[in-house]
Amino acid sequence: MSNQTNPDQTEELAPPTIIRTGRFLDQDAAGYFIPLQKNSALDPEWETIVGLARERYIKAYRERLHSLYVRGSVALGCPIRGSSDLDMIGLLHHNSFCNQYYVWNHVEWEAAFSSELKTMLSFEVQPDLIVASLNRGFLERNNSLPAILATQSVCIYGSDIRQHLPLFAPDETMMYYNGRIKLFVFAAYQNLKRDASPQAVMQVCRTICKAMIRCSFELVLQKEGRFTRDLYLCCMAFATHYPDQAESAWQALHLYISPCQEIAPLLSLIDDFGHWLISQERTIELRHRPNLGQRLLHEMGVRTTGCMRKGIT
């Protein structure tokens, strides 16, 4: 089942200044998302960027690196210059006696790599480089990770874990921001209080606006029966179900594309739209899959001896 956007259904809702782009994840006849296949037709410049990040992961983690994944628009083969981020996830073998446990952590060298990219590229790329520990409890500890790997990522190094993951449908297992948006709002307030420089405000602006847009889509995800990470389509779907809040969603998208340098307009949006989203969010009761991580790692032949410690199951 193809989930390309239909311009005829969305044209009248979209502000004229927004570029209409994006796609919904493909689904099979039963409604489950079809795993992504590696796109071999990626722009050569993006191939270079991905290759550089891949080598940096390998150099930094060596034998600890189990597998590496690229996700988002780059994985789909349709990154946009100056807009798309470089999203990657590295799964690390974990030994509780000598390794820090990572649930969802940015790599320590992300800022240095970002600076390196700025010196060699003709357009801006924001790297979002993550590591997560691979032990028998990793799926239970990070409930969003299996869905991201299974539906929005492709493996570019190591043993692909996706073949061992369950199928996912457009339900609560695909949600991340719904239930967490209050944390993003609080972090935005704290970061703006700590640093109100134009550059810092722009960075907070992009982060919180993206979070609010994706949270808004998660409110209508099950009604839509489909999933997308693309912000334009998130706004479009949300505006259809909540026309009274549509203006705020589109404003968030404008500020994500063209971040403001002043605090006032951003605080106004957070106070209004951010707090409305908090009032709408609900507790997500994720499907319980007992010992899923342990079973998957056993199937993969990954040793779990010595991976247990207090607080880690």
pLDDT digits (tens, 9 = 90+) for 209-258: 999 999 999 999 999 999 998 899 999 999 999 999 999 999 999 999 89
H helix or E strand, kind and range, residue 21: none
Residue 313: its pLDDT value, please?
A: 26
The two three-digit tokens of residue 245, written as one number: 């809040």
Cβ-contact 69, 159 below 8 angstroms? no
For residue 122, what pLDDT is reported? 77
Neighbours of 236 (CB within 10 A): 24
170 with 190, same domain: the answer is: no
What per-residue confidence (pLDDT) applies to 304? 40
Q: Report the number of distinct structural domains present in the chain.
A: 2
Q: Is 145 exposed, middle or buried (0-12, 13-18, 19+ CB in 10 A)?
A: buried
Distance, CA of 169 to CA of 30 (rounded, Å): 9
Residue 76 lies in a domain: yes
Is the domain of 77 the same as that of 165?
A: yes
Question: Looking at the domain assignment, is residue 309 inside a domain?
Answer: yes
Length of the chain: 313
pLDDT confidence band for 8 (50 / 70 / 90): very low
Residue 62: give its domain's CATH number: 3.30.460.10
Residue 118: is its pLDDT beyond 50?
A: yes
Give, in order, the Cα–Cα distances in Å from 137 to each of 146, 225, 294, 308, 311: 12, 30, 6, 9, 10
pLDDT at 253: 94
User: What's the rounded mean pLDDT across residues 53-81?
Assistant: 89
pLDDT at 75: 82
Sheet of 153-158, strands arranged across:
105-106, 127-134, 86-93, 65-71, 153-158
> What pLDDT does residue 9 have?
44
Full residue range of the structural domain in which residue 238 is found: 177-283
Q: What distance in Å separates the CA atoms of residue 288 and residue 106, rounded to the nearest whole number?
A: 27
State whether 258 and 162 are in the same domain. no
Nearest to 170 by CA among 36, 289, 280, 32: 32
Burial of 299 (0-12, 13-18, 19+ CB in 10 A): exposed
Q: Among positive and negative, which fits the CA dihedral 189, 193, 194, 195?
A: positive
218 plus 121 within the same structural domain? no
Residue 238, amino acid:
F
Instruction: Name the more confident of 163 and 97.
Output: 163
Could you give the CA distance from residue 128 to residue 87 in angstroms, rounded to a whole number? 5
The answer to whether residues 86 and 54 touch, using CB atoms and an 8 Å cutoff, is: no
**187 and 165 in a common domain:** no
Band (pLDDT 50/70/90 cuts) for residue 72 is confident
Residues 208 and 243 in one domain: yes
Of 194, 178, 136, 165, the residue nearest 32 (C-alpha): 165
Scanning the structure block, which residue is given the tokens 């919180």?
Answer: 208
Give the least confident one: 33-42, 48-57, 256-265, 270-279. 33-42
Residues 57 and 193 in one domain: no
Core vs surface per residue 251-268: b (16+ CB within 10 A) or e: bbbbbbbebbeebeebee
More confident residue, 135 or 282: 135
- 232 with 168, same domain? no
Q: Considering only 103-107, 229-233, 287-291, which range has the smallest mean pLDDT?
A: 287-291
- On whether the CB atoms of residues 66 and 91 are closer than 8 A, the answer is yes
Judge whether 9 lies within some domain: no
Q: Could you give the dihedral angle defined by the CA atoms of residues 112, 113, 116 and 121, in that order, rounded to the nearest 10 degrees?
A: -150
| 163 in the same domain as 305 | yes
Predicted pLDDT of residue 39: 64
187 vs 290, higher pLDDT: 187
Q: Which residue has the higher pLDDT, 81 or 23?
A: 23
Residue 293 dihedral angles phi and psi, to the nearest 5°: -60, -40
Q: Supply the pLDDT for residue 19.
A: 62
Q: Which residue has the higher pLDDT, 293 or 241?
A: 241
Please give the residue that has the higher pLDDT: either 125 or 274: 274
18: in domain: no
- Using pLDDT thresholds of 50, 70 and 90, give the confidence band for residue 15: low
Confidence of residue 301 (pLDDT cuts 50, 70, 90): low
Residues 138 and 82 in one domain: yes
Q: Are residues 159 and 70 in the same domain?
A: yes
The average pLDDT across 200-208 equals 95
Structure tokens at 113: 């790599």
Q: Assess whether pLDDT exceeds 80 at residue 299.
A: no
